[in-house]
Chains A and B, each alone.
Chain A
Amino acid sequence: MKWRNSLAENFILITGRTVKQAAGLHKGKESEEYRRATELVEMNSDDMARLGIGEGQVIRLRSSAGQVEMPAHSGTVPSKMIFIPLGPGANSLIGPETEGTGMPSFKGLTVEIEPI
């Protein structure tokens, strides 16, 4: 696949609701609260240490649909998995294919990560 970078490492992306994302959207999608709540990547702390990613460090994420840069934070996700709250940041990585259902793959997508 052309989008893959041999120096980066592959992870499984899960997107979903968070309490801060929900609270942020009431403040307005242009608000700082919403932006902070949706533009972040939760990672396993062992993965962060292995890749030399510090808490809050901005990383580059790339999928077959696009790429985005966001700060990484340690969270309760298994190794080789990342979580991004629903929102414009995650949308940059989600492909438009719906397999004839109307539903894009918002969970289980392969993305590659590299520290910048």
Chain B
Amino acid sequence: MKTIVENATCTFCGCLCDDIFVEVEDNRIVRVRRVCANGRGVFIDYDPRPRRPIVAGREVEWEEAVSEAARILVQADSPLIYGLSSSASEAQMKAVELADLIGAIIDTTSSVCHGPTSLAVQAVGEVSCSLGEVRQRADFLVFWGCNPAASHLRHFERYSLRPKGRYIPNGRMDRHMVVVDVRPTASAKMADHFIQISPGGDFEVLATLRALIQGKEIEPKSVSGVPLIQLQELVQRMKACHFGVFFMGMGLTMSGAREYNVRELFTLVTELNQYTRFFVIPMRGHGNVAGADQVLTWQSGYPFAVSFARGYPQYSPGEFSAVDGLVREEVDAALILASDPMAHFPRAAGYQLKRIPTIVIDPMMNLTAESARVFFPTGSYGVDAVGTCYRMDNVPIRLRKVIDSRRPTDEAILGQIIEAIKRC
């Protein structure tokens, strides 16, 4: 029997596009429309058939896998819980509960994407707005160190560049778009102005923009490869717009100055509000990485890199962040929730992850799961599991399922592990 599900939500990236059209036949997804190339696989490539968990390379019953996971975590002196950002917030809450119970370090993929952004927010604050406000009002867009044309494919269409809005009646024609990057990306080709800076030059260019906005004179004729006149024109345009928005990405957080780049940008945005309305929205990568920040903050007071080892939450990026804990061999067991650090961590951190007993909870077998002691194949939120995710602008979106569930959820497995530990 064929059924149609309208307005399903794609959980691939922080856009959380919630207008997806899914055609289902005999509980299998056969056709998807409106989804982008990055998100298509969330629906089409997911195999919803139930799988048994794996312990030490062999399939076992769920009870045995839960017992083994509990044993690993109870015996560890310094367990790490990591990932969270591709799971729903209901499961993220369970992960924090588990970390509190066993005195674990808990860290999310934020630490290797927008962790430096969180550090900057804590230092200088963040003037932000919703994507709805961008759609209805923004006439000036700056994409700095991000490439939505490769990473957030429907961002331009749904939220920022092309939509017609209440105060933007002509859509694209009423918006001015600037891209700042170290290379001419696909996004740069769509911009009205592209500013190419030298690698590592972000801080210097941002500091120059702040000085120009304050009316200070700059002697050099170019800054980090950018002609000064180009920055002077940008300042004039920013001051003259009605509603400006910076979208910033990992070009700022992953390069040398990290959080200092982001601090400078966020301070610039605050200062621009002396002249007009200006906002900044971090381009969040994973579907619910914003939710991971939200949940960890409301449960522990901190957004990532938290340790419960002393019975209360302590926050220390560089100490309780996953890469550092693994490379220094301070972590002696790991539970990875909906993430694949073996595919995205420096090799030295991945090497240590292979050496310690690891538990993976994920809808798909991945590089981390391949070498894990325990693997729980769970359902996929937004496909065969319901839950809540936070969009990149921190708006919560309730996910429906489009096919019947035949697998347990991340939340259910974490709950069973918690109960098993309490019985130990």
Give A contacts to B, CB under 8 Å: 12, 14-19, 22-23, 25-30, 65-66, 76-78, 81, 83, 86-88, 91-92, 94-96, 98-108
Chain A residues, Cβ within 8 Å of B350: 91
Question: Is B147 engaged at the interface, CB distance under 8 Å to the other chain?
Answer: yes
Q: How far is the CB of A12 from chain B (nearest CB, A)?
A: 5
Instruction: Known A16-B150, A78-B182, A96-B346; judge A108-B200 contact (CB<8 A).
Output: yes
A81 to B225, CA, bound (A): 14
Would you list 24 pairs from A and B whose C-beta atoms are within 8 A, ordered by A residue? A14-B182, A14-B183, A16-B151, A17-B147, A19-B37, A27-B45, A28-B364, A28-B365, A29-B343, A76-B185, A88-B343, A88-B367, A91-B350, A98-B318, A98-B321, A101-B119, A103-B112, A103-B321, A104-B254, A104-B323, A104-B345, A107-B199, A107-B251, A108-B254
Question: Is B40 engaged at the interface, CB distance under 8 Å to the other chain?
Answer: yes
A102 to B349, CA, bound (A): 12
A18 to B402, CA, bound (A): 27
Chain B residues, Cβ within 8 Å of A100: 317-318
Chain A residues, Cβ within 8 Å of B119: 101
Number of A-B contacts (CB under 8 A): 147
| A103–B345 touching, CB < 8 Å | no
Q: How far is the CB of B359 from chain A (nearest CB, A)?
A: 18
Q: How far is the CB of B373 from chain A (nearest CB, A)?
A: 19
Question: Is B256 engaged at the interface, CB distance under 8 Å to the other chain?
Answer: yes
Question: Is B287 engaged at the interface, CB distance under 8 Å to the other chain?
Answer: no
Query: What is the size, in residues, of chain B's interface with A at 8 Å between Cβ atoms?
Result: 59
Q: How far is the CB of A98 from chain B (nearest CB, A)?
A: 6
A105 to B182, CA, bound (A): 15
Chain A residues, Cβ within 8 Å of B364: 28
| B323–A102 touching, CB < 8 Å | yes
Q: How far is the CB of B14 from chain A (nearest CB, A)?
A: 12
| A19–B153 touching, CB < 8 Å | yes
Q: Beyond the given A22-B41, A91-B347, A103-B115, please list 14 additional residue pairs across the A-B interface where CB-CB is below 8 A.
A: A22-B38, A23-B37, A26-B44, A27-B45, A29-B340, A91-B343, A94-B347, A96-B346, A99-B318, A103-B111, A104-B254, A104-B345, A106-B250, A108-B199
| A96–B41 touching, CB < 8 Å | no
| B183–A105 touching, CB < 8 Å | no
- Indicate the member of B12, B116, B344, B349 with the most A CB atoms within 10 Å: B344
| B349–A81 touching, CB < 8 Å | no
Please name the residue on chain B nearest to A66 by beta carbon: B347
Question: Is B196 engaged at the interface, CB distance under 8 Å to the other chain?
Answer: yes
Q: How far is the CB of B381 from chain A (nearest CB, A)?
A: 15
